[in-house]
Structure 1
Amino acid sequence: MIFAAILAGGIGSRMGGTDTPKQFLTLGDKPVIIHTIEKFVINSKFDKIIVLSPQNFINHTNNLIDEYLGENDRIVVIEGGKTRNDTLLNSINYINENFDIDDDSIIVTHDSVRPFLTHRIIEDNIEAAKKFGACDTVIPATDTIVESIDGEVIENIPVRDNFYQGQTPQSFKINKLSELINSLSEEETNILTDACKIFVLKGEDVYLVKGDITNIKITYPYDLKLANTILKENES
């Protein structure tokens, strides 16, 4: 079985000037989160599309889905967690409580504020997760990477060719992901907020999937302006 987990639990504190979480801001003629959900709805491979929302926005999210996408029994909105790991566990727990999965069942996890995800990236994630068990969507680093421990002095300038910028989706075999999250110590749980880093820490390989430069994450006000520009170009 194949599941999508759309991570929409954040409150968007870096967006500034608004109390509305960034995933609910308008992009073009509809909310950012709807653009994102649509990318999964049109792919028939997903048995369930799980949207993880702040508790006080669950009803709002359901209302938006009904308004823009209509009734769809493949979509469910549940509460996210306090941290990214907690949110992932909530999605896994929902799957385990409602479906009979096996060791080959896949979860494709994606940021709700990356609305320009492509069909190709989704398909590549599914295939890589099936074959390798874990994958991360990345693009090559284009800027020089500078490392500083204290934020004042350069410690190292590594070879750029070896570095990539992480995007999402990140996709995994569900049982393996659950096993590794549950194996984290309290200290590890507090510092590891990225599922792929959990795999790496535990000595598990994570396969690279080619991302796209337009697969941006809307975090700051400028990002929303850029997203509107990309949307207009795509529509034209």
Structure 2
Amino acid sequence: MVNAMIFAGGTGTRMKTSDIPKQFIEVDGKPIIIRTLENFSTHPEVDGIVISCLEAWIDELWKLIEKWKVAKVVDIVKGGSTGHESIHNGLVRVDEFTKPEDIVLICDGVRPVMSEQLISNCIKLAREYETAVPVTPSIDSVLWSDDGEHCSKALPRGSMYITQAPQGYTMRKIMGAHLEAERRGIVSPTSSSELLIELGQEIHIYIGERDNIKVTTPEDLLTLRSHYYYERYKSFAREELKYGLE
């Protein structure tokens, strides 16, 4: 069995919107969270979806799921005060109806652009290695600074990778990591992959997609809107070419 666990508990402070969380912002007529969910609901290998959401927005999300006819949503649970806590709450719910060897795909709710192949690769590699984290090679030089003002160390760009989502794990692997984190008092790792690394475990990485952006800032929102405008333009161009040839 394969399940997606989508965490959408953030308020979007870096998006600088005070009235609506970033995952509920509409882009090209559809909320970002719905676009993200559709990537999993339409994937033939995904059996179910659990969402961890801001408590005040759970009812609204159910309405949107019904409006846009998003399939496979099993439940929406209350998010936490951190991303890690939101993921934990969602995983606890998924754990109620899965087996240790089942696969869970953990993804933030603001990744609306990802291919079916990316998800398929994640599932395949998670089954093989118990962990599967998509990454893209860093194309920029990377500097190390403890205080954000002074730097005396450059990191080798060829060894630097940017993590993406979804991140795939067996339930045995990720739930074990969360239980161990509780035991050690680890409360706020940046991501599931970083949690495993902090616990001394190795993760399997694979090359992701540069188009698979995480919508975090107003600049990301502009990039996303440009993506859909371009997709519409390509569609119109194909139609014009088709009828022009006829």
**Into which bin does the TM-score normalised by the smaller protein fall?**
over 0.9
Give the structure 2 partner of residue 167 of structure 1. 164
SS in 1 for 2:110: coil
Distance 2:204 2:13 in 1: 31
Inter-partner Cα distance in structure 1 for 2:101 and 2:226: 39
1:154 to 151, 159, 163: 151
1:87 correspondence with 2:86: yes
Q: For the structure 1 residues 86 and 124, does the alpha-carbon distance in structure 2 shift closer, same or farther, using more than 3 Å as the test?
A: same
1:193 aligns with 2:197: no
SS of 1:14's partner is: helix
| Paired residues of 1:139 and 1:211 also in contact (CA < 8 A) | yes
- Secondary structure at 1:171 match in 2: strand
Q: How many residues align?
A: 233
Alignment of 1:58-97 (within 5 A): 58-69=58-69, 72-97=71-96
Kindly state the Cα deviation for residue 73 of structure 1 after the two structures are TM-superposed: 4.9
Query: What is the SS of the residue equivalent to 1:152?
Result: coil
Equivalent in the alignment of 1:53? 53
Task: Quote how far apart the aligned CAs of 1:204 are.
Answer: 2.0
The Cα shift of 1:18 comes to: 3.3
* Amino acid aligned to 2:127: K
CA positional deviation for 1:191: 4.1
Q: Distance in 2 between matches of 1:84 and 1:16?
A: 18
1:213 aligns with 2:210: yes
1:87-114 deviations in whole A, cap 9, x for unaligned? 22212221233x1x33321100111111
Normalising by structure 1, what TM-score?
Answer: 0.93
Amino acid at match of 1:54: L
SS in 2 for 1:183: helix
- Equivalent residues of 2:41, 2:72 under 8 A apart: no
Q: What is the CA RMSD across the aligned residues, in angstroms?
A: 1.6
Deviation of 1:154 after TM superposition, in Å, equals: 1.2
Q: Which AA in structure 1 matches 2:102?
A: S
Task: Give the deviation of 1:203 after TM superposition.
Answer: 2.6
8 Å contact kept, 1:48–1:76: no
Alignment deviations for residues 40-69 of structure 1 (CA, whole Å, 9 cap, x no partner): 111122221112110010000010111112
Q: Is the 8 A contact 2:47 2:72 kept in 1?
A: no
Shifted more, 171-180 versus 181-190: the winner is 181-190
Q: Deviations over 1:29-48 (max 9, x none)?
A: 11111111111111122221
Q: Distance in 1 between matches of 2:145 and 2:94?
A: 41
Name stretches of at least 5 consecutive residues in structure 1 with no aligned partner: none
Identity among equivalent positions (%) equals 27
Is the radius of gyration larger for structure 1 or structure 2?
A: 2
- Please tell me whether the aligned partners of residues 149 and 155 of structure 1 are also in contact (alpha carbons under 8 angstroms): no
- Deviations along 1:130-178, one digit per CA (max 9) or x if unpaired, are 1101121110000100111122221211110000111111111112211
Deviation at 1:202, TM superposition (A): 2.2
1:139 to 136, 139, 152: 136
Contact 1:85 1:181 in 2 (8 A): no
Stretches of structure 2 lacking an aligned partner (at least 5 in a row) = 235-246
Counterpart residue identity of residue 111, structure 1? D
